Amino acid sequence: RALNFNAGPAALPEEVLKEAEKNLLNFSNTGMGIMELSHRSKEYQAVHDQAITLLRKLLAIPDDYEVLFIQGGASLQFSMVPMNLLGKDQEAHYILSGSWSEKALKEADKIGKTVISASSKDQKYRFIPAYNQNDIPDNAAYLHITSNNTIYGTQWKTFPSNKKTPLVADMSSDILSRPLGVEQFDLIYAGAQKNLGPSGVTVVIIRKELLQRSSENLPAMLNYNTFANNNSLYNTPPTLAIYLLSLVLEWADKKGGLQQIEKANEKKAKMLYDVIDESEGFYIGHAHKDSRSLMNVTFNLQNEDLSREFLHQAKEAGFVGLGGHRSIGGCRASIYNAVPEQHVEKLAAFMKAFKNNS
């Protein structure tokens, strides 16, 4: 297996891939592969229900929330959130902590009134910006945050808590990486292709009360109620992606759930941040220490030539996906749940050796 540090689509657990491989040709003695089954068959229904049940269990999702499977990626949620939740005379508040929040804001701007409540853009998104709860009116449609900033390598540690303003979070790159009280949020969305499975399915967790806001005039496929009223089976769901999601969730459950997963993630992240911190300025972390992400470790070397040489030698040594996002360059190691500890150990050793040989 490659030493895969891609940001997404990203590494999946080897056990999951092996299990899936067995079922590509003959699922549950049907004589049909998992992706050849009707989405109305009892065999597929069991997979679909299992994915929802395990998500509810692992994330401790209360009964007054719906779990929806939608296509179109997290990017479609940038539009669906304001289309469903932003009323004519309301404002939607956005905290900008990276490019994905900016993209979410840009789409909401097309739908209604928006306000930027806080931003760390002028500081190159090195930290999660502070915000003043009093600046967010009680009648705001919602407050939108991005819980983990995949590109800049920053992550929220605690969340805004104004009970009157619904909190919406894009958790694409850290869902399932740590326990979190879902009840702090009113809507959570996440594209699957980092911690949940392959691309193709987006998980939306929405407080049932919010479903009343959607206008009946919305196109069916853009209305959360269509998914909620039909157990996400109004039309053909991405059955293969949901099957893999169910296997990833089983894997996470067997690992001992989110507390154990968080511990493993903290251990992996520490290995890399320690190398950065002990390198006497050879590696320069992008994120401020108190905003560091456990999922995406971003860093630079002292100059571009050295960064390029680091990436070149890393590639030769078998490391995949260590280049920073094309918008900011530098280096990034994405260490989602499925990246084995041994792979991170190898990367930490490589970083130390590269420094000593430079």
Give residues in contact with ligand PLP (CB under 6 A).
Answer: 8, 73-75, 100, 146, 150, 170, 172-173, 191
| Residues contacting residue 265 through CB under 8 Å, at least 6 positions apart | 177, 178, 294, 295, 335, 337
> Is residue 150 a known part of a binding site?
yes
Nearer to ligand PLP, 110 or 208 (CB): 110
Tokens of 126: 């090195």
> Is residue 251 a known part of a binding site?
no
Nearer to ligand PLP, 37 or 169 (CB): 169
> CB burial class (10 A; 0-12, 13-18, 19+) of residue 18?
exposed
Closest distance to ligand PLP from the beta carbon of 100 (Å) = 4
Closest distance to ligand PLP from the beta carbon of 202 (Å) = 6
Residue 246 sits at φ, ψ, to 5 deg, of -65, -35
Residue nearest to ligand PLP (CB): 73
Closest distance to ligand PLP from the beta carbon of 249 (Å) = 18
Q: Before 160, cis peptide (omega within 30)?
A: no
Are the C-beta atoms of residues 220 and 213 closer than 8 Å to each other? no
> Known catalytic residue: 270?
no
Nearer to ligand PLP, 172 or 225 (CB): 172
Q: Nearest to residue 244, comparing CAs of 205, 196, 204?
A: 196
Nearer to ligand PLP, 99 or 114 (CB): 99
Q: DSSP 3-state helix, strand, coil percentages of the chain (rounded to 5)?
A: 40, 15, 40
Say which of 156, 174, 186, 194 is annotated catalytic.
194
Q: Whole-angstrom Cα distance, residue 188 to residue 231?
A: 17
Q: Whole-angstrom Cα distance, residue 321 to residue 4?
A: 6
> Known catalytic residue: 194?
yes
Are the C-beta atoms of residues 334 and 321 closer than 8 Å to each other? yes
Closest distance to ligand PLP from the beta carbon of 172 (Å) = 4
> Is residue 235 a known part of a binding site?
yes
Say which of 100, 156, 186, 251 is annotated catalytic.
100
Q: Whole-angstrom Cα distance, residue 166 to residue 163?
A: 7
> Is residue 226 a known part of a binding site?
no
Nearer to ligand PLP, 66 or 170 (CB): 170
Nearer to ligand PLP, 301 or 322 (CB): 322
Closest distance to ligand PLP from the beta carbon of 233 (Å) = 21
* CA dihedral for 310, 314, 315, 320, sign (positive or negative): negative
Helices (H), 59-95: 73-85
Q: Whole-angstrom Cα distance, residue 262 to residue 103?
A: 28
> Is residue 193 a known part of a binding site?
yes
> Is residue 1 a known part of a binding site?
no
Are the C-beta atoms of residues 275 and 344 closer than 8 Å to each other? no
Say which of 170, 174, 186, 268 is annotated catalytic.
170
Q: Whole-angstrom Cα distance, residue 69 to residue 233?
A: 9
DSSP state of 222: G
> Known catalytic residue: 100?
yes
Closest distance to ligand PLP from the beta carbon of 71 (Å) = 10
Would you name the residues annotated as active-site residues? 100, 170, 194
Binding site, by residue number, is: 40, 74-75, 100, 150, 170, 193, 235-236
Binding site for L-glutamate, by residue number, is: 40
